[in-house]
Structures are given as structure tokens and as C-alpha cells.
Amino acid sequence: MKEYYVLRATAGLIVAEISMIAPDTSWKEITDAIHANGGKVFVQLYHTGRVTHPVMNNGVIPLAPTAIAIDDVIHTPEGKLPFPTPQELNQNQIDDIVQQFVTASVNSVELAGFDGVDINAGNAFLIDQFLRDVRTNSLVVVNALSDATGSDRVAVHIAPLSGYNGNYDSDPAAYAAFIATLLNEFNLAFVFLLRHDLKGIMVFTKAEAVDALDNDEFGAIALGEPFVANPDLVIRFERDIDLNEPDRSTIYTQGYEGYLDYPTLD
């Protein structure tokens, strides 16, 4: 994994894969290597809420704002299984989860060497579950993390129009405005918004990214798939050279193939 990230350190800022809110210092060797190659890196932190299953969680029933199951199946080590009915959270459990976010964030910055944390408040995970239609201020997590690490080391990942895992909102525009109003109270490092929510297409081309930046639509553009397939993406953009096409059959697989076997210009 270290080699994968080092090859992409020229990105400037890497937002690493999503991680559970649990103490984890195993990233230190990787973050040190990214820094040594001129890059910066944030880690995504999340709590799944109801988007999990006891067979994936040591037999523990999932926790959620309400005891309502997702009407779908989840891929588990035992195959596809129906989502279970979660246990409704009480205030003590909510307080415990906020503290878990704080502990994970402090460890990520102070022990694991990350430059900051990106709180995943989208994609139907726990924080997103609290915000849909109900409009509760579950961004108390943002406040707690800002106090613990400084708000300039905190980012928030949102997806207002997403209905992933059945987590829809009856008024996405009001939902987006509600979140924006809450986040404006903080001096955050950045807010990560999926392009799919705005234009129905996930991946930017170089021309689209440059145009969006020139028109001040965004402060920065995140490129995922292109960077997976092109470790030297920055050089290819600078020289206007064609990109490798990603092999989607190898994305989210384990091992060397699909991560370290794409050709570079060198």
C-alpha cells in the first residue's frame, strides 16, 4: 500500500480510503513516505450506522438513529444477506460515538501522521442517516473534532442528492442548504462534494476540471479513477498525454493487480 500512495504523492493532497473510527497508527510509515515525496494526505473517517451486518461486526447489531432496516441486501463473507433491523441509538451511545470520532481523529493526526481527517457525512453512513429529512445537528462531530485537532485539519464529505442504500431526502435542495449553513460556522480545510450529485457524472476530464476551476465552481477537483490507472497523472496532464484506461474489474480487489501494474511514462 505504501508504494501505491508514494507513486501518487504528486497529487498534492491525497484523500485516503475510508476507515472506521477506531484507533489505528499503522498508517505512519505510509504517511511519512507521502510527506517525504512532497504530498499531503487526509484520512476518511466514518461510522457505518445501519449500513453493515452482524456477520461483519463480530455479531454486534448495527446502531442507527431509528430501528428501520434498509430494504436491500448487503454483500458479506457469507454471501448476500438482508440488512438487519438496527438498534436505535440512545443519547449515551451517541456521546460515545462522538468521542470515538475524536479519539480516531487525534490518533490519525498525532500518531498516524495524517495532515487531517475527512469526516464522511454522506453515502448513507451514520451521520448522513441523522441528517436526512430529520435535520438534526449531527455535525456536533465536526465541532468536537475541530476542538480536538483544529478545524483547519477537518474536512467533511457530503452527498446531498445521493440516495445510496435507500437514504433519500424528500427535499435535497433544503438538505444541501441546511448542511452548508451548519458548515459555514467552521473554518474547515475543505468540503468534499461528489460531482455525481451535481452533474450525474462521477469523473472529470482534464478539460472539465480546468474549466470548473477557472470558473470558480470549485476550489479543487478530486480525481479518483484516473489516478488509480495513472500514477503519473500530474505529468500526463502537464504534457497533455493520453491516459491509461482503468480496469474496473480490478477496482476494490486485493493484491498487486489493478493498483501497481499500470504503466508510467518512465
Contact 156, 119 (CB under 8 A): yes
Indicate yes or no: pTM above 0.75: yes
List the domains of the chain with CATH numbers: 19-25+40-196 (3.20.20.70)
Which range is least confidently modeled, 31-45, 49-63, 177-191? 177-191
Quick check: helix, strand or coil at residue 117?
Answer: strand
Helix or strand (DSSP H, E) at 118: strand 116-120
Contact 192, 14 (CB under 8 A): no
CA–CA separation, 172 vs 133, rounded Å?
9
Helix or strand (DSSP H, E) at 36: helix 28-36
Backbone angles phi and psi of 168, in degrees to 5: -90, 160
Q: Which residue has the higher pLDDT, 145 or 251?
A: 145
CA 115 to centroid of chain Cα atoms: 15
Contact 11, 38 (CB under 8 A): no
Q: Is the pLDDT of residue 189 over 80?
A: yes
Question: Among residues 1, 8, 14, which one has the least CA distance to residue 42?
Answer: 14
CA–CA separation, 128 vs 26, rounded Å?
28
Query: How is the beta sheet containing 116-120 ordered, strand by strand?
Result: 13-20, 40-46, 116-120, 154-158, 190-193
Instruction: Give percent of the chain with pLDDT exceeding 70.
Output: 94
Radius of gyration of the chain (CA): 19
| pLDDT for res 93 | 95
Contact 31, 24 (CB under 8 A): no
Q: Is the pLDDT of residue 73 over 90?
A: yes
Q: Is the pLDDT of residue 200 over 70?
A: no
Q: Which residue has the higher pLDDT, 165 or 81?
A: 81
